[in-house]
Amino acid sequence: MQKKILIVEDEESLLKLESILLTTKGYLVRGATTGPAALEAIAEERPDLVLLDIMLPGLDGFEVCERIKGNKETRNIPVILLTAKKTPEDVARGVEVGAEQYITKPFKSAKVMETIETLLSRN
């Protein structure tokens, strides 16, 4: 059974790139470009994993992650924060809101794939 991944990224080119990368690896991919759209997508079709940017229009990634983890129906969905925000405060906030991983941009796709595979193999 194909695993579903929701990519939340407001930068169109990056969203395309990540989608192509994950699709070629056999994942079903859905994209969202805003925080509210991400929460809507999760409610409609529960993904197996969320790849989440932090700087988003509407609601930021921290808020989206907090809402995913605060809902008993979605709290077990692994969340990877993928962001340009690198400060220790940002990383600490990522842990605080419950993200399983915090990866900073620019990222190596091999590292992202490895992290996704590790998190999905736990389910």
56-80 pLDDT tens trace: 999 999 999 999 999 999 999 999 9
CB 37 within 8 A of CB 9: no
CB-CB neighbours of 24 under 10 Å? 8
| Residue where the block lists tokens 């921290």 | 62
CB 43 within 8 A of CB 67: no
pLDDT of residue 49: 98
- pTM for the model stands at 0.95
Would you say domain 4-117 falls under CATH 3.20.20.70? Answer: no
* pLDDT range class, residue 123, cuts 50, 70, 90: low
Helical ranges in the chain per DSSP H: 12-24, 35-44, 61-70, 88-96, 109-121
Kindly tell me if the per-residue pLDDT of 106 is higher than 90: no
Write out pLDDT tens, residues 18-57. 999 999 999 999 999 999 999 999 999 999 999 999 999 9
Tokens found for residue 57: 């229009």
Closest C-alpha among 83, 43, 38 to residue 63: 38
Closest C-alpha among 73, 40, 50, 30 to residue 120: 50
pLDDT of residue 25: 94
Degrees (nearest 5) of the Cα angle 19, 85, 94? 85
Rounded to an integer, what distance in angstroms lies between the CA atom of residue 46 and that of residue 7?
12
Tokens found for residue 77: 């969905």
